[in-house]
Structure 1
Amino acid sequence: MAPRDPEAKRRALLEAALAEFAEHGIAGARVDRLAGRAGCSAGLVYTYFGSKEELFTAVFDQVVVQAAEQMPISPEDLPEYAGALFDGQTAHPDVMRLATWHRLEQRGDRPAIEAITRSNQAKVDAIEQAQREGKLSTRFTAPELLMLTINTASMWALQSPEISDLGPREHAARRATVVEAVRRLVEP
């Protein structure tokens, strides 16, 4: 008999949940379907996470932490940070779908997801420091620069195909547009 590996089951559930939530959102996701993807029972979802909503929060936390680790912000080079975000969004459209479901389905009365709050505050703090040092424009506040950078990086990923597929633009050209737009936003 193979030894039990609870951490491997937990990771399998998180991976299966990312796919399930990206495809169906919170309301449309089915615990039995995602448990099947993970190769375990639906009851294990509740054992590890308590509820479908708590599982969604765990998946979203994991995605935020991974993104922060894989694409650390460099306030001195926000244009390249935007380019890295664009690359990540292009390579992982399931994460962008998950973020869209989060925006659509998370009610305002739910507590903020701590990983997102921490990540965004660290980014704002780093941008503010770079602004004080004269490395970034002060035309916009640090939170505004962060949102402008993120939204510029996401401009194709967040649009419907009818808009985002206008013209034969390849990845490199779109990335260059993102980087240049953010460069112009942040230059002192």
Structure 2
Amino acid sequence: MGATRDPEATKARIFAAASDEFAAHGIAGARVDRIAREAKANKQLIYAYFGNKAELFSQVLEKRLMELAVAIPVDAEDPDGWIDRLVDYHAAHPDLIRLVFWEGLEYGSGGIPHEQERKDHYARKIAAFTEAQEKGVISDAIPAQDLLFMMIALASWSTVQPQMRRIVVGDTDEDQDRLRASLRAAARRLTRA
């Protein structure tokens, strides 16, 4: 009896291979034949499931961002703890930030696929910061959307620029602990009520 096909398992292998490929090479540099080979899937099957390489990238990135949102829900009432958890997540999953930066390099300031869904996702995070500001838990000196943007930058930059982190901050465990404490302090200062 022949092996049965499992479309969900195949899609999962494609997503994993595509995530690695896109993180390493971006949208333009990624190759569907390498993704197919790593996923042990037919190249035509990838196109049948996802349409084209850009759509595959978009779906991979959206899935990875949703994994982050589930793992580290926004916590506007504990900004330094939230920053700490984000830094840990990005350190454990540096490919996610690479995907986000590749998206920025590829699309620039123009629109991205499924942009409205992404705006809706971040609108919920902005609302959490707005609510914390309205309750007086955090400062309203910085508009909620700007504050969220700055907090994301604080949490992700050392993962995006590991060479600059090493050159400027240092690379010992003590250096990393000091930086972590500084990031928490910066989050507190940005949000202090």
- What band does the TM-score fall into relative to the shorter chain? over 0.9
Greater shift in the superposed pair: 55-64 or 152-161: 152-161
Distance 1:135 1:114, change over 3 A: same
Number of residue-to-residue matches in the alignment: 187
Q: What letter is aligned with 1:135?
A: V
The residue that corresponds to 1:12 in the other structure is 13
Partner of 2:32: 31
Structure 2 residue runs without a partner (length 5+): none
How big is the alpha-carbon RMSD for the aligned residues of Structure 1 and Structure 2? 1.5
- Equivalent position of 2:177 in the other structure: 172
> 1:131 maps to what in 2?
133
Equivalent pair of 1:64/1:116 in contact (CA under 8 Å): no
Gaps of 5+ in 1: none
2:43: which partner in 1? 42
TM-score (norm 2): 0.91
- The letter of the residue matching 2:149 is M
Alpha-carbon distance change, 172 to 116 in structure 1, aligned in 2, over 3 angstroms: farther
Cα distance in 2 between the residues matched to 1:62 and 1:168:
31
Q: CA deviation at 1:60?
A: 0.7
Please list every run of at least 4 consecutive aligned residues from structure 1 whose deviation after the TM superposition is greater than 6 angstroms. none
Q: Which digits, 9 at most, give the CA deviation of each residue in 1:126-161, with x for residues without a partner?
A: 100110000010110000110111111123123250
Inter-partner Cα distance in structure 1 for 2:129 and 2:21: 35
The TM-score with structure 1 as length reference comes to 0.93
Q: Percent identity?
A: 37
